[in-house]
Amino acid sequence: MTEKPSDASQSPARSTRKPARSSRFTRAAARRSSRRAARLPFGRRGVGPLLALVAVAVAALNLRPGISSLGPVLGTVLEEFGVSSSAGGLLTAIPGLCFAVLGVLAVPIGRRLGLSGAVMVGFAVLVLGILARPFVGSIWLFAGCTILIAGGIALGNVLLPAWIKRHGGERTVRLMTLYTTLLGLGGAVGPLSALLVRAGDREPIEVLGLAAWQSALLIWVVAAAAAAVVWAAVWATTRYDFPADPPSPDGARPVRVPLWRSSTARWMMLMFGLQSMQAYVQMGWMPVMMMDAGISSVVAVWTVFVTNGLGMVGGVVMPTVIHRSRRLAPIIASFGLLTAAGYGAVLLLIAVGADGFGDSAALVALVCALILGVGGWSFPTAIAMIPARSHDPAVTARLSGFVQPIGYLLAAAGPFLVGVGIDRIGSWPPVITALVVAGFALAFAGWRSASGAFVDDQLAEVADARS
């Protein structure tokens, strides 16, 4: 009988007792080999360092303003079309719903067009939506354009982490840091277009011949068009670049174990959903909360800037923390607790009212935004964990397509229920109390998702058990 060289040093008794042990070692080695093969050296597909840097930067900057720019002018838009707060809840829920539905389709679209091609198409759709939305004549057409905007963003949301994993090589953490940082910057500067064009004033702006709210939404088409051009150049360089599925241990066929079989993936999905719900509630309803508490419209817009702007800091810090830390669970759970505390502070501000705080009311509002902003570090954390908790780019793409779409279903419910709650209840305290509870749930889901287990390894264990 001829034995494998790898088993020559083992005693016959041990080989007889544990025949599957060497097989497990062989499978693990095959998985490591497939990971090394999947991680192409930087530029292997023609994406040089400068092009990759610019592509990630312009993409990240454009994945939030089309959504966050609506919040400060939402009241004006609802008044313009003569609709209720429930319609506002629907408008603010559209991004989450589109991210859920189109996020499921993003991976098949990416498999069809390639990662770069699908992202390029997403930005083309984004340009179309931003360009058309300010000029429509009904709330339903306005909602339709918002769907186009959210749909284009959804492709980038899901596929960019996989693109970075595919083309980043040893620079993956740096590109992911750039991505999450500028994602936060885009969310922060989006609402500021309302200040730039004086969105609180509904008189037309003479230069453009548009109402202020129209200009506040339209201004972002320039940045979106620039992103579409850059990604057309990326696509011309890479062409088809969707990664192949990792092979099975015996190399006979790809491994396709459902993502829900990974406990890490399930908790990441729940964490992503809860933090996205909080983020879109804040982007859509934070100015309204503040103004209902008696805070001026200018300060209300700045609270959104502070909340989203702190996401930049989290974007800088958290990818490196995730890459280096061995004790992530307490850190990530703290973000959920801070979110609950921030809403508690907002609840106090509404209960006392701006008049009750006198000249300090604006400062109190900004402190509320500061606490919520640090709690919002859960967003760049959830994004950065997608490539950090997967080895193979194909698994990264599947994980992103699992975590984000299903998570956004939960996220979509938040802004919509806030609008319905305000319509039905007529006051903020019960609604904000529910958001506090959701903050505690986010802390628990964050703790569980930071177990440190790689999704690839959990899926491989399931595949090994089947064989």
This prediction has a pTM of 0.68
Looking at the domain assignment, is residue 19 inside a domain?
no
Crossing angle of helices 429-449 and 263-292, rounded to 10°: 150
Its domain, for residue 91, covers 45-466
Band of residue 62 on the pLDDT scale cut at 50, 70, 90: very high
Rounded distance, CA 275 to CA 254, Å?
A: 33
Beta carbons within 8 Å of 137's beta carbon, 6+ residues apart: none
Q: What is the mean pLDDT of residues 9-18?
A: 40
Domain count, the chain: 1
Are 92 and 419 contacting, i.e. CB atoms less than 8 angstroms apart?
Answer: yes
Q: Which of 344, 365, 355 is nearest to 298 (CA)?
A: 365
Confidence band for 37, pLDDT divided at 50, 70 and 90: very low
Summarised one tens digit per residue, pLDDT across range 73-104 is: 888 888 888 888 778 878 877 887 888 887 78
Q: How far apart are CA 346 and CA 366, in angstroms?
A: 10
CATH number at residue 176: 1.20.1250.20
Query: In the predicted model, what is the mean pLDDT of residues 359-378?
Result: 92
Q: Is 1 within a domain?
A: no
In a domain, 15, yes or no: no
Lowest mean pLDDT of 73-82, 145-154, 252-261, 345-354, name the range.
252-261
Within a domain: 27: no
* 416 and 82 Cβ atoms separated by less than 8 Å: no
Does residue 31 belong to any structural domain of this protein? no
Asked if 290 and 299 count as a contact pair (C-beta separation under 8 A), the reply is yes
Written as six digits, the tokens of 135 are 């000029």
Residue 304 lies in a domain: yes
- pLDDT at residue 59, as a whole number: 95
Number of Cβ atoms within 10 Å of the Cβ of 137: 8
